[in-house]
Chain A
């Protein structure tokens, strides 16, 4: 599909995929595509950071390549690895052929030379195991690269990533430098568990997503929950937004709001009552103490009112 024509276009194409957003979100997305710059997305868990990359891939009809970061992620897991076992296996199977090859040589020096000529056979693309980053670089058609939860990786990896992102080329000692045929669109997400380096931030466009506003979340719920009554959707969202202000151990995400709304629809609930709440709250809240606290204080009255 073609590139975005405006931020409004982003909003429409995202909405076609059931993702509702405003210009605050759409503008940086539009700009990143236009300027071919990486986009760094921060925000609390469950506000749809990762979704942006998926929507982007969907809207532009590109393949999504995902690199999930974790503590201890290193180049061999992110970029490429030599398939050592396969190399060894091939050496074994080709033993006789190698023998033949070397039979015709008379001196040791010649043998080494003959072998040297074939050397590249064993360090070729055949034995290269591309990991997400290399995959994104080597892909003939443009892709969307999602680097998820970059704050979980070590900062050494971060600087390595910076290098890759700046010119989209990788040098592999045995093969030389591989350059991206098409610049991938890169989306990085972070939960702000640690401070990302200034350098990385400078390279990226930045987007902070917070929980959506009341109206927006109601729209999301209405869109994602077929058959929900508008009044109930309003109550649900008001309740959820109230809870988010209460300093819970695990505040409810948008996905959980939708799950909960779905549950209420399935149970044919007309409005939030204490009974309904106590039987469905575990869909929304995933921490026992939070649930107890909500039941004890009975916030649902305020939401209903």
Chain B
């Protein structure tokens, strides 16, 4: 039984669920204690011990169905269905093929080791008066059906079910199929949650102020010079305001949507998060992002004459307008993030405007979704703008997005 469990745990690991040894032991413990006579309860027991995040539940369900519910069919034929995505039925798994016998021996060995009563002679023959024996017999019967399933289990070694690890390398600067976009959104959400975890550390430290001797003594005058109330010095960390300025022309927005998603997920880490989109003029969309998905907003913008979606990007003009309209709303707590490829279509870059803006804000960060070797080719004027930015970064995959997230939270 333990062996089956270990193999099930291995199958889970193959499908990207992290299962530790301790958890497998827990599951074994659970099956020993619990009266697991029905399939739903059996499944729920395993799930409670082996799966520890919501994201892993579908993978668990799938693996469970495959591992435990496979009928003892004639041969592999029925199995092709549940594991349709695999490279076909695996051949040459002789050691697993007769796993049933191994399993029985294993159980006997384990039971002997633990000094427990050996439950009957084998499967389907539960010890009469022993509750545990009965349970194990039931499990045996359940697990007996696994034999064929196991063969199938090996076939799932390779499917790409580890989205998070792979997602890191996906080039965001391209058109992605909708399914991938969904996965990436989820990856970005998780990224944001992780970033927020780290960020909270900083707040924590600042809260533990030292004793404010002066104020404590002042206060003690009220209580006959006895310092009844100890007053702590609070070093306050102010949250930054985040302003995102995003070029939505061309394929920049393929990347922009992930970045904006990230910002959105982290928004309560800032005192305020504002977003502007531009092509040749800027357009504030802060409230829009609360309400609607990015795709829909972009779709709507195509009809928005003010934005001139199909026009040519004009960074200089957009910056000038931003300078004109928003300069006064910027402050020393503002972190300005610009997302764009710096391709000005040969218009005047007006980089001095960015310089003035930089003078007003806490930090300016430029994210360029183009590969670094294309910067400053043709009409890209990255090097004109970069002197006015505190950081200029390439932004085209999740690993970079994570670095950027950290940078912004630290800013």
Contact = CB atoms under 8 A, between A and B. Distances in A.
A96 to B, nearest CB: 16
- Looking at B23, B197, B207, B226, the one whose CB has the most chain A CB atoms below 10 A away is B197
B41 A202 contact: no
Given A71-B200, A201-B53, A249-B291, A34 B34 contact: yes
Contact of B20 (A37, A88, A202, A205): A202
Interface stretch (B42-50, B70-78, B106-114): B42-50
A256 to B, nearest CB: 21
Contacts of A31: 30, 33-34, 45, 48-49
A47 B20 CA distance: 29
Interface string B11-44: 0000000101011001001100111001011001
Interface string A73-94: 0100000000011001100100
B285 to A, nearest CB: 16
A74 to B, nearest CB: 8
B201 interface: yes
B391 interface: no
B44 A155 contact: no
Interface string A188-229: 000011110010011011111000000000000000000000
Interface stretch (A21-29, A115-123, A178-186, A297-305): A21-29
B196 interface: yes
Interface in A1-40: 6-7, 23-24, 26-28, 30-31, 34-35, 37, 39-40
Interface in B270-308: 290-291
A207 to B, nearest CB: 6
Contacts of A6: 35
Contact of A23 (B29, B41, B208, B226): B41
B5 to A, nearest CB: 15
Nearest to B190: A195
B373 to A, nearest CB: 35
B327 interface: no
Given A88-B228, A156-B201, 20 more contacts: A6-B35, A7-B35, A23-B41, A24-B44, A26-B44, A27-B48, A28-B44, A28-B48, A31-B34, A31-B45, A40-B52, A42-B53, A84-B230, A193-B193, A194-B193, A194-B194, A194-B197, A198-B52, A202-B20, A205-B26
Contacts of B38: 23
Nearest to B34: A31
Interface residues of A, number: 40
Which 8 residue pairs across A and B have the least CB separation, nearest first?
A: A27-B44, A201-B52, A28-B48, A205-B48, A194-B197, A206-B52, A194-B193, A154-B204
A154 B18 CA distance: 23
A289 interface: yes
B4 to A, nearest CB: 19
Kindly state the interface size class of chain B when it binds its partner: 35 or more
A72 interface: yes
A278 B22 CA distance: 54
A206 B193 contact: no
B51 interface: yes
B204 A206 contact: no
A154 B48 contact: no
Contacts of A85: 228-229
10 contacts: A27-B48, A35-B30, A74-B208, A89-B228, A154-B201, A202-B20, A205-B26, A205-B48, A206-B48, A206-B53
B57 interface: yes
Contacts of A26: 44
B203 A192 contact: no
Given A27-B45, A156-B201, A289 B291 contact: yes
B410 interface: no
